[in-house]
Amino acid sequence: MSSIEKAGLYRLGDRTVKRLGYGAMQLAGPGVFGPPKDRAEAVAVLREAVAAGIDHIDTSDFYGPHVTNEIIREALHPYPADLTIVTKIGARRGADGSWLLANSPDELRSAVHDNLRNLGLDALDVVNMRFMFDPHRPAEGPVEPQIEALAELQQQGLIRHIGVSHVTADQVAAARRIVDVVCVQNLYNLVHRDDDDLIDQLAADGIAYVPYFPLGGFSPLQSDTLAAVATRLGVTPMQLALAWLLRRSPNILLIPGTSSRAHLRENLAVAEIDLDPTALRELDAIGKP
Cα gap 150→179, rounded to integer Å:
9
209 among known catalytic residues: no
Dihedral sign, CA of 216, 219, 223, 229?
A: positive
Dihedral sign, CA of 54, 55, 56, 59?
A: positive
The amino acid that residue 181 corresponds to is V
136 phi, psi to nearest 5 deg: -100, -25
DSSP string for residues in 172-237: HHHHHTTS-EEEEE-B--SS--TTHHHHHHHHHTT-EE--BSTT-TTS----HHHHHHHHHHTS-H
Cα gap 186→88, rounded to integer Å:
12
For helices 261-268 and 39-51, angle between their N-to-C axes, nearest 10 degrees? 30
Cα gap 188→132, rounded to integer Å:
17
Cis ω for the linkage preceding 145 (within 30 of 0)? no
The amino acid that residue 178 corresponds to is I
Cα gap 176→201, rounded to integer Å:
13
Residue 171 zone, left/alpha/beta (φ > 0; ψ -120 to 50; rest): alpha
Q: How would you class 53 by CB atoms within 10 Å of its CB: exposed for 0-12, middle for 13-18, buried for 19 or more?
A: middle
Out of 63, 79, 188, 209, the active site residue is 63
Residue positions annotated with a catalytic role? 63
